Each structure stands twice: as C-alpha cells, then as structure tokens.
Amino acid sequence: MKMTKEHYDILKEGMQKALEDLKQKGINNKAEFVNYYIKNNIGINPKNRACFDLLRASKINNDNSTRFICDVLYKYLNDNHINTALNKIMNEI
C-alpha cells in the first residue's frame, strides 16, 4: 500500500468517528451502512461508493476530509491507492 501509516491512521480515525456519528441517524453499524448502498444500487460499485462517502463524511483536523484528501493525499496518491486503503479500513472498523 502506498499510503503512509500516518495518513492511513488519520483516515481510519476519521472514518470510525463518522460511523459512530451515523448512529444518530439510525444506521447502527458498518454492515447496515454498506448494505444500504448495495440494496439501493448506489453508484457503479456500491461498496466503493460507501467507502468514499464515509470518508467524505469524516472530519480530519476539525475540517471536512476533502481538504486533507486534496491537499495531502492527492500529492502522492491516486483514487486507486486511496480505494485500497479505504477497503482495508472498512475491514478493520
């Protein structure tokens, strides 16, 4: 995996928090979140879309994740690299 451990850990922490925040909206766990995307056929690849949407919902350094993705990650990664990390994170959280 090309993503640094430091950046991986930052994403993982943000995504875990975003998943916890979804409980207030009635989504109780990761499986419910991902299955909603699959059941409703959201995106070309619903599992990948769920990963990226959870990342987008996360806060990094008290800011939305877009700034971190654009300013930090895209300097040395592309979407495939980020997707690899997101899939691994989703298996761990």
Q: Is 61 left (phi over 0), alpha (psi -120 to 50) or beta?
A: left
For residue 11, the model assigns a pLDDT of 95
Question: Could you list the residue range(s) of the whole structural domain that residue 23 is in?
Answer: 5-92
DSSP 62: T
Q: Count the domains in the chain.
A: 1
Q: What confidence category does residue 26 fall into, taking pLDDT thresholds of 50, 70 and 90? A: confident
Instruction: Answer yes or no: are the C-beta atoms of 4 and 73 closer than 8 Å.
Output: no
pTM of the model as a whole: 0.85
H or E stretch at 80: helix 79-92
